[in-house]
Every structure is written in C-alpha cells, then in structure tokens.
Amino acid sequence: MQKDKWLFEITPKNNLFDLNLKEVWQYRDLLLLFVKRDVVTLYKQTILGPLWYLIQPLFTSIIFTLVFNNIAGISTGNIPPFLFNLAGVTIWNYFKECLTATSDTFKKNEAIFGKVYFPRVIMPMSIVVSNLLKFGIQIFIFICFYLYYFLNGYAVSPNKFILFFPLLVVAMGMVGLGLGMIISSMVTKYRDLTFLVGFGVQLLMYLSAVMYPLDLMREKLTNLEEGYNYAWVVDFNPIAHLVEFGRYILLNDGSYSNFGMLYTICFTIIIFFLGLLIFNKTEKSFIDTI
C-alpha cells in the first residue's frame, strides 16, 4: 500500500554498519563551505598570518638539530640534519594536526550539533581537508630548503617512489582522522581523554622516528646479548613507518620494508573504518551525555 512508503524513519536501534554515505555526499557543499570558513577566518586579526605555519616547523627543526644531532650526535648519513628533521616534522605535523583537531569534534561543536542535524562526520572531514592547506605551506618551505641544499652541492634527491607521495598524505590524514574520531567519541563520556591527547601525542612523536632514522632506533632497542628486544615499539607504530617512508621518498634515505608498509596500510584502513563506525554510533546520542 501507498501508506507504508516512508522516506525515512528515526528509530533508536540502528544498524552499526549503516554509515549513510549517500547522505554525506548530499552534504558535500557543506564540507567545502566549512573548509572555506576555516581557511578564510584563520588569519583574521593576526599580524604574521600564515607565517606562523612556517615558524613552528622551522624552529622545531632547528632545536631538534641542535639537541639530537649536535649534542646527542645522532647521525643522519649523507642528509643534512636540518633537512632530515624538517622532513620528519613536516610529515608528522600533518598527522598531529588532524588528530588533535578532530579529537574534540563533539565537544567543540556541541552548540551547533545540539541545534541542527547534518551528518556529523562532515565536521572532522572538513578539518582534515583544511589542514591540507597548512601542510601545503609547510611542504613549500621544505622544498625551498631542499633546493637550497641541492644547489649547494649536497647529494639530496627524491626517490622514484615520490609518485606515492599523495598516497602518503592520504594515509596520514586517514590515521589522524580515524584516531581523532575514536577519541572524540569517547571524550563525550570520559573527559579524561582530552588530557591524554595533548600529552600522548607528544610522547608518540618520540616513538615515531621524527628526529632519528628508524633503523637506528631499532638497533638501539635491541640487544640480544643482554636478552632484550624492544624493537616492537617502533615496528608496530604505523606512524613511525609513515614518517620513515615519507623521508625515504623525499630524501632517498632510510629503510623501506614490505612488512612495515603492508602493516601500515592495513592499520590505516582498519582504524579509519573503526573510527567511522564508532563516530557514527556516538553521533546519535552524544548530545545527552556531553
């Protein structure tokens, strides 16, 4: 009968896998407008504007070079230590920004989420996209230094895998978004996680091969004579693999392992979909618990 043809139903128990991607597609204009909003409004009433994006990675790289390469004496092979660190920091930053900015989605947008409905996932997705701009600026400054060192006779050249660079960026964004969505879902109930994120991300950086070559860390962590092997700390950290792979394709330096790459790809895809599922489940009722 005609009577039973409903356009949609609102019910309490929905299928866990009902991601409603069609609806997300219908709201694609909103995603673009959020990105535009983020980009347009970011530098309003700042003096240095986008320069802030350059200052942060540059100074971080200088400090890392001072502490880790000059004082601690970590060798970066043929690559100038500053460029080595800048590459690591640039790649790491994109992941970090995606993670931290998406991890408080629900809390930050409580007011708007409490008033109108749109697919909530639009919000973290727009953050990941608008962070691309920031990443673009940082990659640009990296290329400037790259050319500077190249012209000064250093043996820096990209790897043939450079074609995979966009994929690397996508993977970084996906891991950051996936983890961010999981955390933001849990923050609605357990606020403790907000503290953990700020602190945890910093710790994770030290385990993610940002300022040292992955092989060196693996070497130091393994000592078969004394019978310990902590290499798993970096081996099972997908971010370390991504950072190392990024440096591998940008600077043709460091190691590349099939296992590491395969593991990282699987991890990325799993964490992304897990994040989507948890986020999707939370968005129905978070407004009652936040």
Q: Which residues bind other proteins (CB under 8 A)?
A: 3, 5-12, 26-27, 29-30, 32-34, 36-37, 40-41, 44-45, 111-118, 189, 284-285, 287-289
Do 35 and 179 meet the contact criterion of CB atoms below 8 Å apart?
no
Q: How far is the CB of 24 from other proteins (least distance, A)?
A: 13
Q: How far is the CB of 283 from other proteins (least distance, A)?
A: 9
- Lookup: tokens for 10: 């609102």
Distance CA 197, CA 188 (A): 14
**Residue 29: CB partners within 8 Å, gap ≥ 6?**
none
Q: How far is the CB of 107 from other proteins (least distance, A)?
A: 14
Which residue number, 72 or 287, has a Cβ lying nearer to other proteins? Answer: 287
Distance CA 267, CA 171 (A): 10
Which residue number, 40 or 151, has a Cβ lying nearer to other proteins? Answer: 40
Which residue number, 38 or 149, has a Cβ lying nearer to other proteins? Answer: 38
- Lookup: tokens for 245: 């792979």
Which residue number, 112 or 144, has a Cβ lying nearer to other proteins? Answer: 112
Distance CA 169, CA 98 (A): 11
Q: How far is the CB of 113 from other proteins (least distance, A)?
A: 7
Which residue number, 5 or 22, has a Cβ lying nearer to other proteins? Answer: 5
Q: How far is the CB of 34 from other proteins (least distance, A)?
A: 8
Q: Which CA distances in Å does 29 have to 112, 177, 252?
A: 17, 20, 39
Residue type for position 82: F
